[in-house]
Structures are given as structure tokens and as C-alpha cells.
Amino acid sequence: MGITFAAVITPSAWAATPPAGYSGNPVFPGWYADPEAAIFDHQYWIYPTTSLKYSAQVGFDAFSSPDLVHWTKHPQVLDIKDIPWAKKALWAPAMIEKGGKYYFFFGANDIQSDKELGGIGVAVSDKPEGPFKDLLGKPLIGAFHNGAQPIDQFVFKDDDGTYYMIYGGWKHANIVKLKPDFTGVEPMADGTTFREITPGPEYVEGPMMFKRNGKYYLMWSEGGWTGPDYSVAYAIADKVTGPFKRIGKILEQDPKVATGAGHNSLFHVARNDSWYIVYHRHPLGDTVGNDRVTCIDRMVFDKNGHILPVKITNEGVKANPLQ
């Protein structure tokens, strides 16, 4: 059973009441970060990190909406007790539906070397609201490759049905080809398994990918996640493996609205070709690193396919029902 609410205003995060028919930012109450956006069965879904101390990050909530304005909270869709190898720092979900099952990819344990147990795991459920259960009994990726900490995974399905995972912290990004049952990774056509696609020295973490008009877009976060300079940049390539060369920054703080705007995902509504960037940010005047809230704003392209700088707002976005 979920808890339903329209945009709820909290003094720590809000400056004004949003206009009628708008989501408001943040779109739901509570400290949540690293949001994963997905559309399942005519519902918008957001799966965020619960933004607490690492030792208290022991479960995930999810949120669903028919229209981007009215959100239902689904508590504890994945609990650490159902991940036998995890002990803390459950981070940054990624979601995929395949064959009537829902696969929930996550980071756990914040490993600092290959000597520690942790990394990227995967859980599965028959419903988008869970409950999800660990699929493998161990990490899917549990070691460093090309210098990338195994965190912040995003799963991308290409037009030929191949699933790729893009991931990596510590200023390195990798792409891997997932096995069809998501139980592991397998070599790509050229024989490589862990291919580095770091787009430049500014890259820090939080990669995600989408495809538009035959081009592959890679987005990622730059700066420090606890500070005001956290932001999002992007690149475009002709192939899923790149090369990706940084084009520029498109999401960042606005001293009149919020700071530390980063770690994004996207909603794309094909019916009217609407694009929305889903991200977290820090409320103005708040200096606690984990005080992060989840927000949504419009994302627009120019005639050449470049992403225009996003204007972060307090009002959020207008309702856009999926049916």
C-alpha cells in the first residue's frame, strides 16, 4: 500500500507554493538523491537513493505518478535484509523491465578496493513496486576496472535488443554488455568486456545514456556531490561505445533557486515528445551534504540536437498524464 500526496512543501526545501497544476520542486518530501526515472504501465516511476549517512542507507523507497504532479510513495521496495552480501551505502538505482519482470540495479558497500565485498548488484521483482529480492547472492560487478569504482550504474537497451551497463565513480566511466538474463557481463564484438568511455577529465560519476535521432547521448555528473558545484554535462557519439567528447554543462546551481544540481535521469513522453530531467539538488542555505531533494524540470533540444541549458525552478513542471 502506498502513501499518496500532491507536491508537499517543506520549509527547508521550499520558497513558495507552486502554481496549480504544477509538480512543485521538490516533487515529493524527504531527503532523496540520485533519482532513476522510468515509465512502467502508464505510470511515471522514480527510484532514488535514501539520502542519509552510509550506515543508514539500508533500503530504497519508490514513487509513482500518473501525471508528474500527484505522487504515491512505495516504502522499502528493496530492503538490505534481502541482499545477503550488502551492509551499507545502498545507492543510485537503475531500472529495467524485461519479460514481465523488473530488474533493480544498485550499488552497495562503497568499496574502496578489490579486497572488499561490494559493488553493483541486481534484484528482481514481478512488480515495479517490489518487493525486490537479490538475484545473484553476490555483486554483479564487484571489482575495479580501468580505475572505475563500481557504483552509479545505468542500464541502456539499444535498438537491437542488447543491454549495456554504463557505470563508474572515481572519475572513470566504463561500459559493459550485460548477459540477456542479467546474471553477468559478456565480451563485446571486439572482445573487450570492460571498456572505458570516460568523456574527459571533468567526469566524476553518475553516467546515464539515451538515444535520439540515431545518436547516443552520454550524461554525467561533475563537481563534488556534497557541494554547490555539483552539475551535469553531456556528450554525443555515433556508437554506443563512443568515443564521447564533452560538449558542455547543461544543469547546475542557480543561486536564486538551489545549489548542487546533479546526478540526473530522464523521462521521455513519446506521445508529445516531452523530455524531463530528473535530478537532485540542495536547498538554498543548507550546507549538510546529505540534505538533497528530488526535482523535475523540462529539458529541450535545439535544431542541431544539442541540449539547451536547463532552467531549474521551484514550480517544477506541468501535469502530463500518460493516458
pLDDT digits (tens, 9 = 90+) for 40-75: 999 999 999 999 999 999 999 999 999 999 999 999
**Residue 17, pLDDT above cutoff 50:** yes
* Total Cβ atoms within 10 A of residue 197: 24
The single residue listed with the C-alpha cell 574502496 is 112
**Residue 150, pLDDT above cutoff 50:** yes
The pLDDT-based confidence of 12 (bands split at 50, 70, 90) is very low
Distance between CA atoms of 141 and 154, rounded to whole angstroms?
Answer: 13
pLDDT at site 49: 98
What mean pLDDT do residues 82-101 have?
98
The pLDDT-based confidence of 11 (bands split at 50, 70, 90) is very low
Judging by beta carbons within 10 Å of its beta carbon (0-12, 13-18, 19+), is residue 60 exposed, middle or buried? buried
The single residue listed with the C-alpha cell 579486497 is 115
Torsion of CA 165, 134, 81, 120, to 10 degrees: -20
Q: Please list the active-site residues.
A: 34, 205
What mean pLDDT do residues 257-264 have?
98
**Residue 8, pLDDT above cutoff 90:** no
Distance between CA atoms of 34 and 15, rounded to whole angstroms?
Answer: 22
Distance between CA atoms of 293 and 282, rounded to whole angstroms?
Answer: 6
Tell me the average pLDDT of the chain: 95
Contact between 106 and 92 under an 8 Å Cβ cutoff? The reply is: yes
What mean pLDDT do residues 90-97 have?
98
Contact between 314 and 34 under an 8 Å Cβ cutoff? The reply is: no
pLDDT at site 323: 85
Distance between CA atoms of 40 and 255, rounded to whole angstroms?
Answer: 35
* Total Cβ atoms within 10 A of residue 257: 18
As given in the structure block, the three cell numbers for residue 147 are: 580505475
As given in the structure block, the three cell numbers for residue 280 are: 537532485
SS3 56: helix
pLDDT at site 15: 46
The 3-state DSSP composition of the chain as helix, strand, coil percent (nearest 5) reads 0, 45, 50
CA distance readout (Å), 12 to 19, 30, 210, 211: 19, 10, 33, 36
* Per-residue pLDDT reduced to its tens digit, 183-227: 999 999 999 999 999 999 999 999 999 999 999 999 999 999 999
**Residue 10, pLDDT above cutoff 50:** no
The single residue listed with the C-alpha cell 540542495 is 282
Distance between CA atoms of 231 and 142, rounded to whole angstroms?
Answer: 27
pLDDT at site 282: 97
